[in-house]
Structure 1
């Protein structure tokens, strides 16, 4: 995530914390009246660390039209921000700076999203903004990857979007399925990049290795660099 030299600070209050998986939570904060952002952008949480604070970047997964700020957070063992978020309860406050980031959609061409884990956060913001608020009729496709079934979340939310909007579709792939009952795709996201065209704009978000591999596959297939947008988590 690209940082900047100056970002306005806001104090935000936690309204709700939702457990999504064994190590993933959703945080819902009140949205300051003067806070504006573009779908796909991130903020920095200022996390106390002794006598200083350290910035930690998290993408917003709600839309600019929403009255709240939603974040999808993977809890890391001994992580400074993870420790803060795990201890927070409704009504607690946090300080953020921002927004910042260029992982935003400005094109009118079809959009192809690839995400793993918490990397779906900014993509969910863009998807919902395009479908619900901008009411785009452009084709939108999401390929979402997780390690195993215990890491799945937001599947019903994505199903609801596909049932409501004919121009949106998605697939979920599990790299290490633990049950014969899993009915989605198997393998990594790099195994399922065969339904794209050079007319798409690509948005990739997740761990560095995945982003690098997907980007290389797209470039080797003839996609131009200018069509590929990525954010590393």
Structure 2
């Protein structure tokens, strides 16, 4: 049993190491493409500006750490906070996280809660399949000190996101292991119950046969 557990944990450690390397490579590629780094359909980002400051439950402050859910554009509804590829005032590519205020034939129209005007079409392209990235899921406010430190350096940003995503990865692996163990235990329990029922049925049949033999005497 001890050797089995040691083997399992060693295997998990190797798996996590390999996946972490893969995460770093895919993260580098994603950042170059101006895309979030998704792991199990979730990505982590840091809010860089005050454009989403507001009074809504999903309004966002500067340096809030947010979880983005990978989704299709068909899932987007008015009022959702979404992430899409845009540009800053200098024309450099950035990821924008703003609220959906309208959906038209041309595409989705967004606006920051703290902004006075909409993004499209003056400041950003309409959000479509080409530049849509995901839907805001939740924010992690207690990690704001970490995100504030990360915002001072791109390397720290990537390093911090890699750490958070690795934690998410480890949590998912643990969840999968627990799910497998629960299913295994359930299968063993079911097998034992079937064996007990079979034994009861056999004993019942033997009693019936014995009664029949006694009656024939």
Same fold (TM over 0.5): no
TM-score (norm 1): 0.27
Greater share of residues in helix: 2
TM-score (norm 2): 0.28
